[in-house]
Amino acid sequence: MDSTSITMEATAARAVGATKVYGSGETRVCALDGVTAEFERGRFTAIMGPSGSGKSTLMHCLAGLDTLTEGRVFIGDTDLSTLSERKLTLLRRDKVGFVFQAFNLVPTLTAIENITLPMDLAGRDPDREWLDNVIDTVGLRDRLTHRPSELSGGQQQRVAVSRALASNPEIIFADEPTGNLDSTSGAEVLDFMRHAVDELGQTIVMVTHDPVAAAHADRAVFLVDGRIVDEMADPTAELVLDEMKLLSRR
């Protein structure tokens, strides 16, 4: 293996000069202002920043849900800007996992059906061994045939993370996955994500406001006004909190 392919392999997703502008003239908002960042394989990254700093926008663009005004984003070595709408959909289905803040599950499907949904959509059989592994990790084996309405908020989010994991994607994006949960349920979900990175070798990028949540990550990236202003390896809650206070004073 040569060196380039190693760096390719090592990066699950990256953004190069990513710029996103909404509106024009008076109402022009620059949600992302030339963001360049890499997300390494097998790592858990937290994206932090004040409200309106562009965290969700960055994540949506990285995940192929939204398109950039300028710059490029890559999943693995695929340049998303070259993909058609259909190709983007297939990429999301096969290479990307998602966890939203709320409303993650299709109400008519059971927990297990929700978990295997992306593979079912692809008409692919899930890898049973991997799936068992994921289900054991999430610890909801006795709840698999329940519908979302029969699960607690925390359980629903864990099912959502399982769904993101089930197809063994290139990368998982989570936008404030614990934002709607109390601290205990939130901790369960975060532990589960940590576990997925450590034991199952997954790559996770998580947007959060919560320093405690960020402390579960390997690395924290700080965004202000659409720009990356700082980053921190092995964040702890106290360090992150200090940093955020600092940023909000700028």
Partner 1 sequence: MLKLTFRNLAANKARFVMTTFAVVLGVGFVVASFVLSDGLRSSFGDLSDEITVGTDLQVRPVSDFGEPPPLDQDLVDRIASLDGIEVVAGFVSADDNAMQPVKPDGTTISSAGPPQLTFSWVADQGLGSFALVEGTAPDEPREFAMDIDGAEANGFVVGGSYDLVTPIGVVKDATLTATTRFGSDNSTLGAVLMHVSLGEAQRLFGSPGTVDEIGIRLAPDADATAVAAAISGIIPDSGVEIVDQATLNSEQKADFNQGINIIGNVLLGFAIVSLFVSIFIIYNTFSIVLGQRVREMGLLRALGADSRQIRRTVLGEALLVGLFASLIGLIAGVGIARGLIALFEALGASLPDAPTIVALRTVILALVLGVGVTVVSSLVPARAAAGIAPIAALRDGARLGSQSSRRRSLTGAALIGVGLMFGVYGLANPPGTTLALVAVLGLAASLVFVGVSLASHMLARPVARVLGWPIAAGMGTAGRLARENASRNPRRTATTGAALMIGLSLVSTVLIIGESVKSRLGDLLETSVQADYLIVDDSEAGVTSDLAAELAATGQFSAVTGFRYDEARLSGTVSEVVAADLTSLGRLLSLDVRSGAIPSDEAGDVVLLHMDQADELGVVVGDVVPAEFATGTTIDLTVAAIFADDTVIGSPIVPNAVFDSAGSADVHQWVAAALADGMDPDLAQPLIDQIQQRYPQVSIDSAAEFQARFEASIDSALAVVNALLALAVVIALIGIANTLALSVHERTRELGLLRAVGMTRRQVRRMVRWEAALVAMFGAMLGVALGVVFGWGAVTALPVNFADTVTIPIRRITVLVVVAAGAGLLAAWLPARRAGRLDVLKAISHT
Ligand X SMILES: Nc1ncnc2c1ncn2[C@@H]1O[C@H](COP(=O)(O)OP(=O)(O)OP(=O)(O)O)[C@@H](O)[C@H]1O
The binder of 158, among ligand X, Mg ion, partner 1, none, by C-beta within 5 to 8 A per type, is none
Q: Is 28 helix (H, G, I), strand (E, B) or coil?
A: coil
Nearest approach in angstroms of CB 207 to partner 1 is 14
Tokens 């990790």 found at: 137
Does position 203 interact with Mg ion (CB under 5 A)? The reply is no
Measured CA to CA, the distance from residue 51 to residue 54 in angstroms comes to 8
Nearest approach in angstroms of CB 192 to Mg ion is 22
Measured CA to CA, the distance from residue 166 to residue 151 in angstroms comes to 19
Work out which of 14, 20, 60, 158 binds partner 1, going by CB under 8 A. Answer: 60
The binder of 52, among ligand X, Mg ion, partner 1, none, by C-beta within 5 to 8 A per type, is ligand X
Does position 122 interact with partner 1 (CB under 8 A)? The reply is yes
By CB under 8 A, the residues from 181 to 220 that bind partner 1 are: none
Measured CA to CA, the distance from residue 192 to residue 156 in angstroms comes to 13
The binder of 31, among ligand X, Mg ion, partner 1, none, by C-beta within 5 to 8 A per type, is ligand X
Question: Edge-to-edge strands of the sheet including 29-40?
Answer: 29-40, 11-22, 70-75, 78-79
Segment near partner 1 (CB under 8 A); pick from 26-34, 107-115, 191-199, 212-220: 107-115
DSSP string, 59-100: HHHHTTSS--SEEEEEETTEEGGG--HHHHHHHHHHHEEEE-
| Distant-in-sequence, close-in-space partners of 27: CB < 8 Å, separation ≥ 6 | none
Structure tokens at 68: 């950039």
For ligand X, the closer CB: 115 or 206: 206
Residue 53 DSSP label: S
Q: What angle do CA 117, 57, 69 make, to 5 degrees?
A: 110
The binder of 65, among Mg ion, partner 1, ligand X, none, by C-beta within 5 to 8 A per type, is partner 1
Does position 56 interact with Mg ion (CB under 5 A)? The reply is yes
Work out which of 21, 30, 83, 90 binds partner 1, going by CB under 8 A. Answer: 90
Q: Which residues bind Mg ion (CB under 5 A)?
A: 56
Q: Under the rule (CB under 8 A), what is the footprint of partner 1?
A: 60, 65-66, 85-86, 89-90, 92-94, 98, 100, 103-109, 117-118, 120-123, 163
